[in-house]
Amino acid sequence: MDCENVGFVDCHTHLADSMFEHDIQTVVENTKRAGVAAVLVCTVTPSDFPLVLRLCDQYPDVLVPCLGIHPVQKDSNGEQRCVSQEDLDKVITEMEQYADRICAIGEVGLDFQPRITAESIHKDIQRNVLKTQVELANKYDLPLNVHSRSAGKPTIAALKEFGAKSVLLHAFDGRPSTAMEGVKEGYFFSIPPSIVRSDQLKLVKQLPMENIVLETDCPGLGPVKGERNEPANVQISCDYIAKVKNMTPQDVKRITTQNALKLFPKLMKILK
């Protein structure tokens, strides 16, 4: 596909988040107006599954679903906790049921923040949950939309060990040298608007353009800390990358959209 005149692709969002429930139509309209042609909407918990599927049914011309179980879940009091095997067991049948429809398995991955992995067994549990989801992605020839907070090196090592094929590492917070190990495997890295206030300049400098895509991770990771982020803000990521790489924003948009299509071929249905 000639991506010269195709819009942006936001490769990682959480538009089913409660922060959007009162004005999602306006947000989607803003998204289209900003030239964003496709938005991947990820799940985190089992309760997200019906919300994401319903939302993508509502706006099928721009939103595409990703189903997966995140390494961080919430307990009955709303406090964050490590994922359990039971969390995945609740939805694995549903993930298989919708395998033909979803764009990727995600959001999945590892999160080794000390408060999440307070017990040594927590890391093993996260790895097992990730392994099962990598196997599912391979079974249905789907890419993975991957979280790796405080776990860049072990996440890339695990993905290699488990035989992951198509991988997006979103909002990568590891060392650029660690990211290069992912580049060797053909993995992609998505850059959120928070890049303008982060310390990951060296990462953007070192990543080859053929491994970069755009994301917002909205409602989080916006250009202003604490303010709700939206898919329209992918332009901010694009402009930042263009400045760092000494390129035009138009070229960054074209290349990142081409990359997104390579990684997520089901987007062709929207971007045709």
CATH number assigned to the domain covering 8-271: 3.20.20.140
pTM exceeding 0.95: yes
Distance (Å, whole) CA 211 – CA 169: 10
Domain positions in the chain:
8-271
Pull the structure tokens for residue 213. 């895509």
**Percent residues over pLDDT 90 in the chain:** 94
Averaged pLDDT, 147-161: 98
Identify the pLDDT of residue 249: 98
Distance (Å, whole) CA 64 – CA 151: 27
85: confidence class by pLDDT, cuts 50, 70, 90 = very high
Residue 105 confidence (pLDDT) above 70: yes
Identify the pLDDT of residue 271: 82
Identify the pLDDT of residue 32: 98
Identify the pLDDT of residue 38: 98
Residue 22 confidence (pLDDT) above 70: yes
Residue 270 confidence (pLDDT) above 90: no
Residue 272 confidence (pLDDT) above 90: no
Identify the pLDDT of residue 4: 66
Identify the pLDDT of residue 6: 83
Residue 5 confidence (pLDDT) above 80: no
Identify the pLDDT of residue 144: 99
Residue 1 confidence (pLDDT) above 80: no
Q: Are strands 63-67 and 72-74 parallel, antiparallel or unpaired?
A: unpaired
Query: Which of 86, 96, 70, 92 is closest to 17 using CA atoms?
Result: 70
Is residue 176 packed enough to be buried (19+ CB in 10 Å), middle (13-18) or exposed (0-12)?
Answer: middle
Residues forming the annotated binding site? Answer: 12, 14, 107, 147, 170, 217
Please, what sign has the CA dihedral across residues 261, 264, 267, 272? positive
Per-chain mean pLDDT for the chain: 97
Q: What is the pLDDT of residues 176-202, one digit of tens each?
A: 999 999 999 999 999 999 999 999 999
Residues forming the annotated binding site for a divalent metal cation? Answer: 12, 14, 107, 147, 170, 217
Residue 14 confidence (pLDDT) above 90: yes
Distance (Å, whole) CA 44 – CA 71: 8
Residue 51 confidence (pLDDT) above 70: yes
Identify the pLDDT of residue 179: 98
Identify the pLDDT of residue 3: 65
Identify the pLDDT of residue 76: 87
Distance (Å, whole) CA 130 – CA 111: 11
Residue 36 confidence (pLDDT) above 80: yes
What DSSP state is assigned to residue 120? Answer: T
Q: Which of 2-6, 15-19, 108-112, 148-152 has the lowest mean pLDDT?
A: 2-6
